[in-house]
Chains A and B, each alone.
Chain A
Amino acid sequence: TQLLEQSPQFLSIQEGENLTVYCNSSSVFSSLQWYRQEPGEGPVLLVTVVTGGEVKKLKRLTFQFGDARKDSSLHITAAQPGDTGLYLCAGARDYKLSFGAGTTVTVRA
């Protein structure tokens, strides 16, 4: 059983469209991380959110941490082909991370 549920599992959109990926749990986390992974490579950290209700922006990416620190979302505005990849959320507790199953995002040119 996955501690963190990510949705959707797959997302294919046209360049210029917006997208949102969701990460939900019944557990509370001390922080939540989002990673992006390319095929055959290790995940790369995009952002860490710590405070309930926190919103962070990274260029066209907006990350939100739920008020109760159980869920998070990633919104990409005007997606580009370079945004293609596997997006993973991970919740932190006791020096360990629990990962969601990932959302595979494909942005078509």
Chain B
Amino acid sequence: SQTIHQWPATLVQPVGSPLSLECTVEGTSNPNLYWYRQAAGRGLQLLFYSVGIGQISSEVPQNLSASRPQDRQFILSSKKLLLSDSGFYLCAWRSFHSYNEQFFGPGTRLTVL
């Protein structure tokens, strides 16, 4: 069965510090991978998606970047965090053979102070 991991679960960072959030998927190959941000109790905003190693599409211009160094690894980064980067970050994967169902990781709660 497929499993998706995210770490860390919680992160508190000062403004101006760097960021690295990691997401890995097990039990599937060549998945589409996605990063979302969610405001409290609200819907999800798509930040980046990737259809393969080294292939990143950005949905929203922002202070963040993403990379996919391996087939089942997706990283969200920032060189200098802003207060507005605070939120709940979710990674998701999609099987190539599906009706676009996406399966989500447990999320990372980021607080920028």
Contact = CB atoms under 8 A, between A and B. Distances in A.
Interface of A: 2, 6, 30-31, 33, 35, 40-45, 48, 50, 86, 88, 90, 92, 95-102, 104
Contacts of B94: 95
Interface string B42-56: 111110010100000
B106 A30 contact: no
Interface in B27-51: 32, 34, 41-46, 49, 51
A44 to B, nearest CB: 7
B99 A41 contact: no
Interface residues of B, number: 24
A42 B105 CA distance: 6
Contact of A97 (B41, B102, B107, B109): B102
B49 A95 contact: yes
Contacts of B44: 43, 88, 90, 97, 99
22 contacts: A6-B43, A31-B99, A31-B100, A33-B100, A33-B102, A40-B107, A41-B106, A42-B90, A42-B104, A43-B104, A48-B100, A48-B101, A88-B43, A90-B44, A97-B34, A97-B100, A97-B102, A99-B44, A100-B43, A101-B43, A102-B41, A102-B43
